[in-house]
Amino acid sequence: MDKQNFSKEIKNKFIQLFNSNPLLVISPGRVNLIGEHTDYNNGFVLPAAIDKAIYFAVSLRNDDKCVLYSFDMEEQHESNLNALTKSPMSWVNYLLGVADQLIKAGYKIKGFNCVFGGNIPIGAGLSSSAAIEAGLAFALNDLNSLNIDKLELVKLAQKAENEFVGLQCGIMDQYINIFGIDGNALLIDCKSLEYSYYPFHFNDVSIALFNTGVTHALASSEYNKRRAECNEGIKIIRKKYAEVASLRDVSVSIISEFESLMDAVIYKRCKYVIEENARVLSACKALEAGDLNKLGALLYESHNGLQNDYEISCDESDFLVGLAKNEKSIYGARQMGGGFGGCTINIITKKDLAETSQRIKTLYDNKFNHKLKIYITNISGGTRIIE
């Protein structure tokens, strides 16, 4: 279904259920060119919003109820703003978490009706959860005339995930969701929370996502574990360098002093993060120079770090990145997102796209039990009102 049809379907469903006219909002998924697991270490990331999105139809009610309808799951849930509790229906928590944060931050919000759905594949590392959180935060801000600024909305949506959903995610996904603009990647400095745009204007290349089809149940526990391991590393570094607040403040030469002073695993985790931060800044330079070979090489290095040092890849994503390296039409590839599956991101020449991806798909499908899904994405704008 394309964009126009999605918003029409969501709106029609809303009118059918609630018999009133909603505000319509589009909230995109994201890719991350480079900078993985650096956000919660106060580092750099380089994501971009894409043309796969969640569509929202929302209106206010005259009572304190929130009536939520998932278009994709065909499920409805009702709760009261005065007694928000975690639901066993997991999709509900991404929405209630936002209402909960608004209330905790002292904003007066009314009850609301909400229908949402879209085409961001779940568990593929394209951040459907941040799209749900930030999309609803945006809609409720508008409908209740709360005048919350964009960065506050980002923080609020992130906190909804940290506190209500229970994943200690960093700020990248919610940030790019709100701040994304058409045709541009966004460099976010997760320490200062400043940002700058880097145009991704290459007419003859596409961003292709290869979905491994693997969504490890492990992902959230291992994610929180990686955070803890990085913090462990910082504690040891601070014994010698008290001024260090996060891995962002540690250089490649400083971390190398700790090789024999740290557990080997903790050392690898820290080294990966520090090197990945440097790669993000190099990637920005490569984008400015239009140097796709350099950008591609950085993506491969990033995957290498994810596979061997941060240890969050999986056989399927390693296999896909391995195949990409043998393809002349692919500049670079790496696993993207939280880890243990999801999609690999591939920078690939447009003219070879169909042939190359078919070749890779055949090899993948023959080797694994799940079939490779391929998405071609365009860099698009952040969360906004439609119509």
Using CB under 6 A, count the residues that bind ligand GLA: 11
When the beta carbons of 33 and 250 are compared against ligand GLA, the nearer one is 33
Choice from 36, 51, 276, 327 touching ligand GLA (CB under 6 A): 36
Among residue numbers 165 through 184, which ones bind ligand GLA (CB under 6 A)? Answer: 169-170, 172-173
Asked if 338 is part of the footprint of ligand GLA (rule: CB under 6 A), the reply reads: yes
Among residue numbers 203 through 242, which ones bind ligand GLA (CB under 6 A)? Answer: none
When the beta carbons of 177 and 206 are compared against ligand GLA, the nearer one is 177
Q: From CA 318, how far away is CA 282, in angstroms rounded?
A: 23
Among residue numbers 38 through 97, which ones bind ligand GLA (CB under 6 A)? Answer: 39-40
Q: Is 173 a catalytic residue?
A: yes
Q: Which amino acid type is present at position 230? A: C
Asked if 29 is part of the footprint of ligand GLA (rule: CB under 6 A), the reply reads: no
The catalytic position among 39, 51, 100, 173 is: 173
Give the nearest distance from C-beta 45 to ligand GLA in angstroms: 7
Q: From CA 120, how far away is CA 123, in angstroms rounded?
A: 9
Quick one: which segment of 14-22, 35-43, 116-124, 196-204 binds ligand GLA (CB under 6 A)?
Answer: 35-43
Residue 77, C-beta contacts closer than 8 angstroms, at least 6 positions apart: 67, 68, 69, 87, 89, 92
Give the nearest distance from C-beta 338 to ligand GLA in angstroms: 4
Asked if 133 is part of the footprint of ligand GLA (rule: CB under 6 A), the reply reads: no
Tokens encoding 359 = 């070749």
Contacts 24+ apart (CB under 8 A), 244-252: 245/42, 246/41, 246/42, 246/43, 246/191, 247/41, 247/42, 247/43, 247/273, 247/274, 247/277, 248/41, 248/42, 248/43, 248/190, 248/191, 248/277, 249/42, 250/274, 252/278
Quick one: which segment of 37-45, 203-211, 230-238, 352-360 binds ligand GLA (CB under 6 A)?
Answer: 37-45
DSSP string of 286-352?
HHHHT-HHHHHHHHHHHHHHHHHTS----HHHHHHHHHHHT-TTEEEEEE-SSSSEEEEEEEEEGGG
Query: What DSSP character marks residue 183?
Result: T
Instruction: Report strand pairing: 330-335 vs 184-189.
Output: unpaired
Give the nearest distance from C-beta 34 to ligand GLA in angstroms: 10
Residue 2 CB burial class (10 angstroms; 0-12, 13-18, ≥19): exposed
Give the nearest distance from C-beta 318 to ligand GLA in angstroms: 17
DSSP-derived 3-state class of residue 195: strand
Give the nearest distance from C-beta 214 to ligand GLA in angstroms: 15
Choice from 11, 13, 22, 37 touching ligand GLA (CB under 6 A): 37
Give the nearest distance from C-beta 98 to ligand GLA in angstroms: 15
When the beta carbons of 36 and 229 are compared against ligand GLA, the nearer one is 36
Give the nearest distance from C-beta 167 to ligand GLA in angstroms: 7
Backbone angles phi, psi at 380, to 5 degrees: -130, -170
- State the Cα angle at 149 between 143 and 154, rounded to 5°: 95
Chain residues binding ligand GLA by CB under 6 A are 36-37, 39-40, 127, 169-170, 172-173, 337-338
Q: Give catalytic residue positions.
A: 173
